Chain A
Amino acid sequence: MSGFGQAFRIAAELVSSLLVGLGIGWGLDEWLGTKPWLLILFFFLGAAAGMLNVYRATKGYGLAVGYRKHGNDDDAQR
Protein backbone atom coordinates (compact mmCIF):
# COMPACT_ATOMS: atom_id res chain seq x y z
CA MET A 1 0.00 0.00 0.00
CA SER A 2 1.29 3.44 -0.81
CA GLY A 3 2.27 5.85 1.94
CA PHE A 4 -0.71 8.00 1.13
CA GLY A 5 -3.06 5.05 1.29
CA GLN A 6 -1.59 3.99 4.59
CA ALA A 7 -2.00 7.46 6.06
CA PHE A 8 -5.56 7.61 4.85
CA ARG A 9 -6.33 4.24 6.34
CA ILE A 10 -4.97 5.28 9.74
CA ALA A 11 -6.99 8.49 9.67
CA ALA A 12 -10.18 6.66 8.72
CA GLU A 13 -9.51 4.20 11.53
CA LEU A 14 -9.16 6.97 14.11
CA VAL A 15 -12.21 8.90 13.00
CA SER A 16 -14.59 5.99 12.50
CA SER A 17 -14.14 4.62 16.02
CA LEU A 18 -14.83 8.05 17.43
CA LEU A 19 -17.96 8.31 15.29
CA VAL A 20 -19.20 4.92 16.44
CA GLY A 21 -18.52 5.82 20.08
CA LEU A 22 -20.39 9.09 19.71
CA GLY A 23 -23.26 7.33 17.95
CA ILE A 24 -23.63 4.72 20.68
CA GLY A 25 -23.40 7.36 23.42
CA TRP A 26 -25.98 9.56 21.76
CA GLY A 27 -28.34 6.66 21.10
CA LEU A 28 -28.12 5.38 24.68
CA ASP A 29 -28.67 8.89 26.00
CA GLU A 30 -31.81 9.25 23.91
CA TRP A 31 -33.02 5.88 25.08
CA LEU A 32 -32.20 6.15 28.78
CA GLY A 33 -32.68 9.89 29.16
CA THR A 34 -29.25 10.38 30.69
CA LYS A 35 -28.13 13.31 28.56
CA PRO A 36 -25.26 14.09 28.25
CA TRP A 37 -23.33 11.65 30.41
CA LEU A 38 -23.21 8.56 28.23
CA LEU A 39 -22.28 10.68 25.24
CA ILE A 40 -19.29 11.97 27.15
CA LEU A 41 -18.35 8.50 28.39
CA PHE A 42 -18.58 6.94 24.94
CA PHE A 43 -16.69 9.82 23.39
CA PHE A 44 -13.70 8.78 25.46
CA LEU A 45 -14.26 5.09 24.84
CA GLY A 46 -14.51 5.75 21.11
CA ALA A 47 -11.33 7.80 21.17
CA ALA A 48 -9.58 4.99 23.03
CA ALA A 49 -10.85 2.44 20.51
CA GLY A 50 -9.62 4.64 17.67
CA MET A 51 -6.15 4.87 19.17
CA LEU A 52 -6.15 1.13 19.77
CA ASN A 53 -7.06 0.58 16.13
CA VAL A 54 -4.30 2.90 14.97
CA TYR A 55 -1.83 1.14 17.24
CA ARG A 56 -2.83 -2.23 15.81
CA ALA A 57 -2.78 -1.02 12.23
CA THR A 58 0.68 0.50 12.55
CA LYS A 59 2.06 -2.45 14.52
CA GLY A 60 0.93 -4.78 11.78
CA TYR A 61 -1.68 -6.60 13.82
CA GLY A 62 -4.01 -5.97 10.94
CA LEU A 63 -7.36 -4.89 12.17
CA ALA A 64 -7.79 -7.82 14.48
CA VAL A 65 -9.80 -7.22 17.56
CA GLY A 66 -7.75 -8.50 20.44
CA TYR A 67 -4.01 -8.28 20.81
CA ARG A 68 -3.18 -11.55 19.16
CA LYS A 69 -1.50 -11.75 15.83
CA HIS A 70 -2.64 -14.55 13.59
CA GLY A 71 -0.53 -17.62 13.22
CA ASN A 72 1.87 -16.47 15.92
CA ASP A 73 1.01 -17.78 19.33
CA ASP A 74 3.94 -16.07 21.01
CA ASP A 75 2.15 -12.81 20.61
CA ALA A 76 -0.76 -14.19 22.54
CA GLN A 77 1.30 -14.12 25.70
CA ARG A 78 1.96 -10.42 25.73
Chain B
Amino acid sequence: MAESNGHSPLDQFKIAKLHELQVAGLDVSITNSTVVMVLAVVLVTLFLTMGVRRRSMVPGRWQAMAEMSYEFVGNMIRDNVGNEGRRFFPFIFTLFMFVLFGNLLGLVPYSFTFTSHLAVTAALAVLVIVLVTAVGLVLHGLHFFSFFVPKGVPIVMMPLMVPIEIISYLSRPVSLSIRLFANMMAGHTMMKVFAGFVVTLGAATYGVGAIAPLAMSVALTGFELLVAFLQAYVFTVLTCLYLNDAIHLH
Protein backbone atom coordinates (compact mmCIF):
# COMPACT_ATOMS: atom_id res chain seq x y z
CA MET B 1 0.00 0.00 0.00
CA ALA B 2 2.93 2.27 0.58
CA GLU B 3 4.14 1.91 -2.98
CA SER B 4 4.17 5.17 -4.80
CA ASN B 5 4.13 3.63 -8.27
CA GLY B 6 0.39 3.91 -8.69
CA HIS B 7 -0.74 0.73 -6.97
CA SER B 8 -2.30 2.25 -3.91
CA PRO B 9 -5.81 0.92 -3.18
CA LEU B 10 -7.03 4.50 -3.39
CA ASP B 11 -5.71 5.07 -6.90
CA GLN B 12 -8.93 3.75 -8.36
CA PHE B 13 -10.77 6.83 -7.12
CA LYS B 14 -8.56 9.28 -8.98
CA ILE B 15 -10.29 11.51 -11.48
CA ALA B 16 -8.35 11.63 -14.71
CA LYS B 17 -9.02 14.31 -17.29
CA LEU B 18 -9.33 12.72 -20.69
CA HIS B 19 -10.24 15.81 -22.63
CA GLU B 20 -9.85 19.41 -21.48
CA LEU B 21 -12.98 21.44 -21.92
CA GLN B 22 -13.89 24.92 -20.74
CA VAL B 23 -17.40 26.30 -21.07
CA ALA B 24 -17.99 29.87 -19.90
CA GLY B 25 -15.04 29.70 -17.57
CA LEU B 26 -16.25 26.48 -15.98
CA ASP B 27 -14.13 23.38 -16.04
CA VAL B 28 -16.32 20.76 -17.71
CA SER B 29 -13.50 18.52 -18.86
CA ILE B 30 -14.38 15.01 -19.85
CA THR B 31 -13.02 12.75 -17.13
CA ASN B 32 -13.07 9.02 -16.55
CA SER B 33 -16.02 9.68 -14.26
CA THR B 34 -18.04 11.40 -16.98
CA VAL B 35 -17.26 8.65 -19.44
CA VAL B 36 -18.60 5.95 -17.11
CA MET B 37 -21.67 8.07 -16.34
CA VAL B 38 -22.44 8.44 -20.04
CA LEU B 39 -21.76 4.75 -20.50
CA ALA B 40 -24.23 3.96 -17.70
CA VAL B 41 -26.92 6.08 -19.35
CA VAL B 42 -26.28 4.47 -22.73
CA LEU B 43 -26.32 0.96 -21.25
CA VAL B 44 -29.54 1.57 -19.33
CA THR B 45 -31.16 2.93 -22.47
CA LEU B 46 -29.97 -0.02 -24.54
CA PHE B 47 -30.95 -2.51 -21.83
CA LEU B 48 -34.51 -1.21 -21.75
CA THR B 49 -35.14 -0.38 -25.41
CA MET B 50 -33.59 -3.59 -26.71
CA GLY B 51 -35.30 -5.53 -23.94
CA VAL B 52 -38.78 -4.46 -24.91
CA ARG B 53 -38.17 -4.37 -28.64
CA ARG B 54 -39.89 -7.62 -29.36
CA ARG B 55 -42.61 -7.40 -26.71
CA SER B 56 -43.55 -11.04 -26.80
CA MET B 57 -46.32 -12.45 -24.62
CA VAL B 58 -43.89 -14.93 -23.15
CA PRO B 59 -40.85 -12.78 -22.45
CA GLY B 60 -37.38 -13.96 -23.26
CA ARG B 61 -34.59 -13.55 -20.70
CA TRP B 62 -33.73 -10.02 -21.70
CA GLN B 63 -37.31 -8.83 -21.82
CA ALA B 64 -37.96 -10.53 -18.48
CA MET B 65 -35.06 -8.62 -16.93
CA ALA B 66 -36.28 -5.30 -18.30
CA GLU B 67 -39.80 -6.03 -17.07
CA MET B 68 -38.48 -7.14 -13.70
CA SER B 69 -36.63 -3.88 -13.14
CA TYR B 70 -39.77 -1.97 -14.13
CA GLU B 71 -41.93 -3.98 -11.76
CA PHE B 72 -39.39 -3.78 -8.97
CA VAL B 73 -39.41 0.02 -8.97
CA GLY B 74 -43.14 0.10 -9.63
CA ASN B 75 -43.85 -2.04 -6.57
CA MET B 76 -41.44 -0.03 -4.49
CA ILE B 77 -43.32 3.17 -5.32
CA ARG B 78 -46.72 1.56 -4.75
CA ASP B 79 -45.68 0.18 -1.36
CA ASN B 80 -43.90 3.27 -0.10
CA VAL B 81 -45.71 6.19 -1.70
CA GLY B 82 -49.02 4.80 -2.88
CA ASN B 83 -50.96 5.67 -6.00
CA GLU B 84 -50.06 9.36 -5.92
CA GLY B 85 -46.45 8.36 -6.36
CA ARG B 86 -47.10 7.02 -9.84
CA ARG B 87 -46.33 10.24 -11.65
CA PHE B 88 -42.87 10.22 -10.08
CA PHE B 89 -42.12 6.82 -11.56
CA PRO B 90 -39.91 8.16 -14.39
CA PHE B 91 -37.77 10.11 -11.96
CA ILE B 92 -37.39 7.32 -9.43
CA PHE B 93 -36.83 4.66 -12.07
CA THR B 94 -34.11 6.77 -13.70
CA LEU B 95 -32.48 7.38 -10.35
CA PHE B 96 -32.53 3.67 -9.50
CA MET B 97 -31.15 2.52 -12.83
CA PHE B 98 -28.46 5.20 -12.89
CA VAL B 99 -27.20 4.39 -9.39
CA LEU B 100 -27.47 0.64 -9.98
CA PHE B 101 -25.56 0.73 -13.26
CA GLY B 102 -22.99 3.08 -11.72
CA ASN B 103 -22.44 0.60 -8.90
CA LEU B 104 -22.31 -2.39 -11.23
CA LEU B 105 -20.05 -0.77 -13.82
CA GLY B 106 -17.65 0.03 -11.00
CA LEU B 107 -17.23 -3.71 -10.45
CA VAL B 108 -15.82 -4.21 -13.93
CA PRO B 109 -12.02 -4.36 -13.65
CA TYR B 110 -10.21 -1.16 -14.71
CA SER B 111 -13.48 0.70 -14.69
CA PHE B 112 -14.39 3.64 -12.49
CA THR B 113 -17.05 3.82 -9.77
CA PHE B 114 -18.64 7.24 -9.99
CA THR B 115 -20.95 6.49 -7.07
CA SER B 116 -17.85 6.31 -4.86
CA HIS B 117 -17.49 10.06 -5.19
CA LEU B 118 -19.24 12.30 -2.72
CA ALA B 119 -19.64 15.00 -5.38
CA VAL B 120 -21.79 12.66 -7.48
CA THR B 121 -23.88 11.20 -4.67
CA ALA B 122 -24.33 14.61 -3.05
CA ALA B 123 -25.55 16.06 -6.34
CA LEU B 124 -28.07 13.22 -6.64
CA ALA B 125 -29.19 13.62 -3.03
CA VAL B 126 -29.60 17.39 -3.39
CA LEU B 127 -31.64 16.82 -6.54
CA VAL B 128 -33.88 14.44 -4.61
CA ILE B 129 -34.37 16.73 -1.64
CA VAL B 130 -35.03 19.81 -3.76
CA LEU B 131 -37.59 17.88 -5.79
CA VAL B 132 -39.26 16.47 -2.67
CA THR B 133 -39.41 19.88 -1.00
CA ALA B 134 -40.79 21.44 -4.19
CA VAL B 135 -43.44 18.72 -4.41
CA GLY B 136 -44.40 19.37 -0.79
CA LEU B 137 -44.62 23.10 -1.34
CA VAL B 138 -46.63 22.79 -4.55
CA LEU B 139 -49.09 20.29 -3.09
CA HIS B 140 -49.55 21.86 0.31
CA GLY B 141 -48.40 25.44 0.00
CA LEU B 142 -47.26 27.02 3.23
CA HIS B 143 -48.98 24.24 5.16
CA PHE B 144 -45.87 22.25 4.25
CA PHE B 145 -44.00 23.95 7.08
CA SER B 146 -46.27 22.31 9.65
CA PHE B 147 -43.95 19.41 8.88
CA PHE B 148 -41.44 20.94 11.26
CA VAL B 149 -43.89 21.28 14.14
CA PRO B 150 -44.16 17.95 15.95
CA LYS B 151 -47.59 17.18 17.35
CA GLY B 152 -48.18 16.62 21.04
CA VAL B 153 -45.24 18.73 22.10
CA PRO B 154 -45.89 21.46 24.69
CA ILE B 155 -45.67 24.96 23.23
CA VAL B 156 -42.81 25.83 25.60
CA MET B 157 -40.65 23.21 23.91
CA MET B 158 -41.27 24.53 20.40
CA PRO B 159 -38.25 26.87 20.20
CA LEU B 160 -36.14 23.80 20.88
CA MET B 161 -38.03 21.24 18.83
CA VAL B 162 -38.50 23.20 15.61
CA PRO B 163 -34.76 23.79 15.01
CA ILE B 164 -34.12 20.14 15.79
CA GLU B 165 -36.75 19.08 13.26
CA ILE B 166 -35.29 21.42 10.66
CA ILE B 167 -31.80 20.02 11.20
CA SER B 168 -33.24 16.55 11.02
CA TYR B 169 -34.84 17.41 7.68
CA LEU B 170 -31.67 18.98 6.32
CA SER B 171 -29.64 15.95 7.38
CA ARG B 172 -31.54 13.79 4.90
CA PRO B 173 -29.53 14.64 1.80
CA VAL B 174 -26.35 14.40 3.84
CA SER B 175 -27.06 10.91 5.15
CA LEU B 176 -28.43 9.85 1.76
CA SER B 177 -25.23 10.84 -0.04
CA ILE B 178 -22.81 9.71 2.67
CA ARG B 179 -24.40 6.26 2.84
CA LEU B 180 -24.01 5.50 -0.85
CA PHE B 181 -20.57 7.04 -1.26
CA ALA B 182 -19.09 5.50 1.89
CA ASN B 183 -20.41 2.04 1.09
CA MET B 184 -19.02 2.06 -2.42
CA MET B 185 -15.72 3.59 -1.44
CA ALA B 186 -15.16 1.25 1.52
CA GLY B 187 -16.07 -1.83 -0.51
CA HIS B 188 -13.83 -1.00 -3.43
CA THR B 189 -10.91 -0.06 -1.20
CA MET B 190 -11.26 -3.36 0.65
CA MET B 191 -11.32 -5.30 -2.61
CA LYS B 192 -8.14 -3.62 -3.79
CA VAL B 193 -6.38 -4.15 -0.47
CA PHE B 194 -7.08 -7.88 -0.50
CA ALA B 195 -6.18 -8.17 -4.17
CA GLY B 196 -2.89 -6.46 -3.34
CA PHE B 197 -2.26 -9.06 -0.63
CA VAL B 198 -2.57 -11.82 -3.22
CA VAL B 199 0.53 -10.49 -4.95
CA THR B 200 2.61 -9.41 -1.98
CA LEU B 201 1.88 -12.40 0.25
CA GLY B 202 2.09 -14.82 -2.66
CA ALA B 203 5.48 -13.54 -3.74
CA ALA B 204 6.83 -13.80 -0.19
CA THR B 205 5.66 -17.39 0.45
CA TYR B 206 6.03 -19.12 -2.95
CA GLY B 207 2.33 -18.77 -3.64
CA VAL B 208 1.01 -20.42 -0.49
CA GLY B 209 0.08 -17.15 1.17
CA ALA B 210 -1.92 -16.08 -1.84
CA ILE B 211 -4.68 -18.63 -1.25
CA ALA B 212 -6.41 -16.93 1.68
CA PRO B 213 -6.49 -13.39 0.25
CA LEU B 214 -7.55 -14.76 -3.14
CA ALA B 215 -10.46 -16.58 -1.53
CA MET B 216 -11.30 -13.40 0.31
CA SER B 217 -11.20 -11.42 -2.93
CA VAL B 218 -13.64 -13.82 -4.54
CA ALA B 219 -15.96 -13.58 -1.54
CA LEU B 220 -15.68 -9.80 -1.51
CA THR B 221 -16.54 -9.56 -5.20
CA GLY B 222 -19.76 -11.43 -4.52
CA PHE B 223 -20.42 -9.26 -1.51
CA GLU B 224 -19.82 -6.11 -3.53
CA LEU B 225 -22.35 -7.29 -6.08
CA LEU B 226 -24.85 -7.52 -3.25
CA VAL B 227 -23.86 -4.09 -1.94
CA ALA B 228 -24.23 -2.60 -5.42
CA PHE B 229 -27.85 -3.74 -5.58
CA LEU B 230 -28.57 -3.04 -1.93
CA GLN B 231 -27.28 0.52 -1.98
CA ALA B 232 -29.12 1.36 -5.18
CA TYR B 233 -32.22 -0.06 -3.54
CA VAL B 234 -31.68 1.85 -0.28
CA PHE B 235 -31.09 5.10 -2.14
CA THR B 236 -34.31 4.70 -4.11
CA VAL B 237 -36.41 3.45 -1.21
CA LEU B 238 -35.40 6.42 0.91
CA THR B 239 -36.27 8.74 -1.96
CA CYS B 240 -39.70 7.09 -1.99
CA LEU B 241 -40.07 7.57 1.76
CA TYR B 242 -39.16 11.24 1.52
CA LEU B 243 -41.58 11.66 -1.36
CA ASN B 244 -44.25 9.94 0.70
CA ASP B 245 -43.65 12.41 3.53
CA ALA B 246 -44.01 15.34 1.18
CA ILE B 247 -47.16 14.02 -0.52
CA HIS B 248 -48.97 12.75 2.56
CA LEU B 249 -48.33 15.62 4.85
CA HIS B 250 -49.89 14.60 8.11
Interface residue count for B (Cβ, 8 Å)? Answer: 31
| A77 / chain B contacts, CB cutoff of 8 Å | 152
The total of Cβ contacts below 8 Å across the A-B interface reads 91
Also in contact, A13 and B152, with CB within 8 A (given A64-B245, A70-B244):
no
Complex alpha-carbon distance, A64 and B246, angstroms: 10
Flag if B168 contacts A70 (CB, 8 Å): no
Also in contact, A2 and B147, with CB within 8 A (given A21-B167, A70-B244):
no
B23-31, B67-75, B172-180 - interface stretch: B172-180
Flag if B230 contacts A1 (CB, 8 Å): yes
B148 nearest CB neighbor, chain A only:
A65
| A67 / chain B contacts, CB cutoff of 8 Å | 150-152
The reply to whether the CB of B84 lies closer than 8 angstroms to some CB of chain A is no
B10-18, B107-115, B234-242 - interface stretch: B234-242
Instruction: Return the contact of A52 from the options B149, B168, B170, B248 (Cβ within 8 A).
Output: B168
Complex alpha-carbon distance, A77 and B150, angstroms: 11
| A9 / chain B contacts, CB cutoff of 8 Å | 175, 179, 234
Instruction: Return the contact of B168 from the options A42, A62, A65 (Cβ within 8 A).
Output: A65
The reply to whether the CB of B169 lies closer than 8 angstroms to some CB of chain A is yes
The reply to whether the CB of A3 lies closer than 8 angstroms to some CB of chain B is no
Flag if B250 contacts A48 (CB, 8 Å): no
A1-55 contacts to B (CB < 8 Å): 1-2, 5, 8-9, 12-13, 15-17, 19-21, 24, 42, 45-46, 48-50, 52-53
CB distance from A69 to the nearest CB of B (A): 10
Contacts from B to A (Cβ < 8 Å): 147-152, 160, 163-165, 167-172, 174-175, 178-179, 182-183, 230, 234, 238, 241-242, 244-245, 248, 250
Contacts from A to B (Cβ < 8 Å): 1-2, 5, 8-9, 12-13, 15-17, 19-21, 24, 42, 45-46, 48-50, 52-53, 62-68, 70, 76-78
